[in-house]
Chains A and B, each alone.
Chain A
């Protein structure tokens, strides 16, 4: 038995070296091959957006295969959001029209909230944003509930298969094989049992989100050197409630690294806890680059900034999603695109009055302190940490704290993701100027054509392409629309024509499933 398994493993290893596969290669290994017109890999919100568009275009649920580890497409998002202090009742950072559960953006989240709460406030907010009020943003819970409803409507559970995609390889006869691994529990000998299935498809879509969590190098090295103290160093995207628990029991000092939206959320949580739970927490906010005023030389391209933060309501200017900046970016060369994306994006947070007020009060009370510098060493002490700085603000080189929270971001290197790295080595995919997956304006992964087969990608890993807001609800929908349009040009589905949209929308409004219509 075990020799059979070993020889199968070495045959699989042999196969994994090859750039192209044949159906027989897989069958010889005892791997089941299932034919499917389209496979979307990831099963998160990017896969959901594509499946939603295709279903509205008339593609039957039986022709769409979704592969991923979580059956609910909001799962990964929800986990990252709640870890980074956005519980269901908090508001997100996208606008009212970025309705991930509705491909048309109508009715908007504000309209639905107004209807649900029988209140005009959300509508007044949209009508006066951002001049008299701040931009309306939906509550996280409203977004999740909408996704759940839309999943039921489009038959998501019938498209979804739980597991991990190991690799994608071109079929010698055109199209792709998507090698999928399903956990089958434990065997009697205690070994993990898995089943491998290969989906053979003409179109494959990759939307696997971020490769993982990133910890600043000095923090990662601290964790390695002092594993017993690793709970004192947390990434804001990983579960770190133990930090808030400890802070609620004793007076502490916490160091926050990063100045983006997640840092703002963590600061809000800490200051809310001071007010509501009476915690006695002192915050040291450590900046590497300090923003001390508006950014940009031209009055026509200047972003608000000051007090350490670069401010903009969303992670890019609004016109990057749908206006003149989108058009401008689409026409640029790779390196120019990277430059414009950096200038429009980078680390920034939302200019929310409530946050700014909270910080100003905390600073006044001496419980929020800003420092600028580079960390050169971190050592554990009896009950906390001793952080050695190379300060650039003239302050002391030593900061004593109980915890450090790293809010600097997620891991963005695609080579750190097994599947994405494999696309580079075996499928002909390349990297753009931002080091991410090189896609064309229709989100097709350049260099990966296989006969008539096409590979598409969307989400964070395509940043640096022809669209800036790829990692957002509206960006995922934009990518889904461009892909659906391409598939319709290739005769693989019906076009999302005005008539189809009108009837599709009516069915959405009535809660009826989309009507199946095969490509003409």
Chain B
């Protein structure tokens, strides 16, 4: 899939709010342990990370789209789409920590827990967008990721 700007944003919002959310609900339950925060806190922190990924993501997508303009192919290589998870993850981590310090609504997360939650969600969404997404949304790949 060769994304357009609208396609990038729509795909990000859709996948994070569906598969991303479902996965965070699951992974928050799986990450239980006596030393860790309660399930609700893990879930709230995970959902907060998702929302931040969506919001910051809109800005990131503008940057990626601008960078794409300097490629002759005007495409966005699959590997790059996976790799930017590192930079995005770092940014989300800082934003999540800041939010946790400023608001009681957002619980904090340990680094390993964040890496697992964010890393697996990112990977899952990347894998889904690289294949199965095309099955349920046949026209999605031709429309550069646009769903509407």
Q: Are A127 and B82 neighbours in the complex by a CB distance under 8 Å? A: yes
A107 contacts which chain B residues (CB < 8 A)? 131
Query: Shortest Cβ distance from A47 into chain B, in angstroms?
Result: 20
The reply to whether A318 and B74 contact each other, CB–CB distance below 8 Å, is yes
Total number of residue pairs linking A and B with CB closer than 8 Å:
94
- Name the interface residues of A298-339: CB closer than 8 Å to any CB of B: 299-304, 312-313, 317-319, 321-327
Whether A126 sits at the interface, judged by CB under 8 Å, is: yes
Task: Please give me the residue from chain A that is nearest to B7 by CB atom.
Answer: A323
**Of B3, B5, B138, most A-chain CB atoms within 10 Å:** B138
Within 8 A of A (CB), among B1-46: 1-5, 7
Known: A322-B142, A498-B136. A131 touches B79 (CB 8 A): yes
How many angstroms from the CA of A323 to the CA of B137 in the assembled complex? 16
Q: Does A27 contact B (CB under 8 A)?
A: no
Q: Is A50 an interface residue (CB 8 A)?
A: no
Distance from B73 Cβ to chain A, minimum over Cβ atoms (Å):
4
Report A72-125 residues with CB < 8 Å from chain B CB: 97, 103-108, 111
Q: Which of B74, B80, B134 contacts A324 (CB 8 A)?
A: B74
| B144, CB-defined interface residue at 8 Å | yes
Which residues on A sit within 8 Å (CB–CB) of B78? 126-127, 129
Q: Smallest distance from the beta carbon of B60 to chain A beta carbons, Å?
A: 17
Are B79 and A326 closer than 8 Å at their CB atoms? no
A129→B77 contact, CB < 8 A: yes
Bound together, the chains give a CA A481 to CA B72 distance in angstroms of 27
Contact across chains for A106 and B2 when beta carbons are under 8 A apart: no
Known contacts: A131-B77, A299-B70. The answer to whether A323 contacts B3 by CB under 8 A is yes
Known: A129-B77, A323-B3. A108 touches B131 (CB 8 A): yes
Give a binary string over A31-42; 1 marks a CB under 8 Å from any B CB, 0 the rest: 000000000000
Residue contact A325 to B79, C-beta cutoff 8 Å: no
Q: What residue in chain A is nearest B69 (Cβ atoms)?
A: A300
Give min CB distance, B74 to chain A, whole Å. Answer: 4
Are B142's CB and A501's CB within 8 A? no
Contacting B73 at CB < 8 Å: which of A128, A300, A317, A498? Answer: A317
Q: How far is the CB of A127 from chain B (nearest CB, A)?
A: 5
- State whether B135 touches A501 (Cβ < 8 A): yes
Interface membership of A502, Cβ < 8 A:
yes
B69 partner residues in chain A, CB cutoff 8 A: 300
B72 touches A312 (CB 8 A): yes
Q: Known A104-B134, A106-B132, A131-B80; judge A319-B74 contact (CB<8 A).
A: yes
Question: Are A323 and B72 CB-contacts (below 8 A) given A127-B78, A127-B79, A318-B2?
Answer: no
Closest residue of chain B to A477, judged by CB? Answer: B142
Nearest-CB residue, chain B, relative to A108:
B131
CA distance A416 to B2 in the complex (A): 36
Contacts of B79 in A (CB 8 A): 127-129, 131-132
Q: How far is the CA of A128 from the CA of B80 in the complex (A)?
A: 8
Q: Which residue of A lies closest to B140 (CB)?
A: A322
CA distance A326 to B139 in the complex (A): 13
Closest to B4 in A: A324
Interface size on A, residues (CB 8 A): 40
* CB–CB A104/B74 < 8 A: no
Asked whether A106 lies within 8 Å of B138 as measured between CB atoms, the reply is no
Contact residues in B for A481 (Cβ distance below 8 Å): 138-139, 142
Residue A130 lies at the interface, judged by CB distance under 8 Å to chain B: yes
Which residues of chain B are near A210, meaning CB under 8 Å? none
- Rounded to whole angstroms, the CA-CA distance of A326 and B144 in the bound complex is 9
Interface string of B88-131 (1 = CB under 8 A from A): 00000000000000000000000000000000000000000001
Shortest CB distance B128–A (Å) = 11
> Are A505's CB and B135's CB within 8 A?
yes
Bound Cα distance from A321 to B144, whole angstroms? 9
Q: Which residues of B contact A129 (CB under 8 A)?
A: 77-79
CA–CA, A496 to B135, complex, Å? Answer: 11
A327 x B136 contact (CB < 8 A): no
Tell me, yes or no, whether A478 is within 8 Å of chain B by CB.
yes
Nearest CB on B from A347, distance (A) = 16
Q: How far is the CA of A55 from the CA of B86 in the complex (A)?
A: 43
**Residue B74 contacts which of A108, A317, A478 (CB distance < 8 angstroms)?**
A317
**Cβ of A104: which chain B residues have Cβ within 8 Å of it?**
134-135, 138
In the complex, are the beta carbons of B70 and A319 less than 8 A apart? no
Does B61 count as interface, using CB distance less than 8 angstroms?
no
Q: Which residues of A contact B131 (CB under 8 A)?
A: 106-108, 111
Contacts A127-B79, A129-B77 given; does A97 touch B141 at CB 8 Å = yes
Contact present for B135 and A302 (CB under 8 Å) = no
Residues of B within 8 A of A303 (CB): 72
Contact A106 to B135, CB < 8 A, known contacts A97-B141, A322-B144: yes
* Residues in A249-308 with C-beta less than 8 Å from chain B: 299-304
Most buried by A among B73, B137, B141, B143: B73
Q: A195 → chain B, closest Cβ, in Å? A: 40
A106 with B134: in contact, given A127-B79, A321-B2 (CB under 8 Å)? yes
Q: How far is the CA of A131 from the CA of B1 in the complex (A)?
A: 16
- Smallest CB gap from A344: residue in B: B72
A residues near B135, Cβ cutoff 8 Å = 104, 106, 501-502, 505
- Separation in Å of the A345 CB from the closest CB of chain B? 12
Beyond A108-B131, A324-B144, 15 extra complex contacts between A and B, CB < 8 Å? A104-B138, A106-B132, A107-B131, A131-B80, A299-B70, A301-B72, A312-B72, A312-B73, A317-B75, A318-B2, A321-B2, A323-B144, A326-B142, A501-B138, A502-B136
**What residues make up the interface of A, taking CB atoms closer than 8 Å to B?**
97, 103-108, 111, 126-132, 299-304, 312-313, 317-319, 321-327, 478, 481, 496, 498, 501-502, 505
22 A-B interface contacts by CB (under 8 A): A97-B134, A103-B138, A104-B138, A107-B131, A108-B131, A127-B79, A128-B79, A130-B73, A130-B77, A131-B77, A131-B80, A302-B72, A303-B72, A319-B73, A321-B2, A322-B1, A323-B2, A323-B74, A324-B144, A327-B144, A481-B142, A498-B138
Interface residue ranges, B against A (CB under 8 Å): 1-5, 7, 68-70, 72-75, 77-80, 82, 131-132, 134-139, 141-144
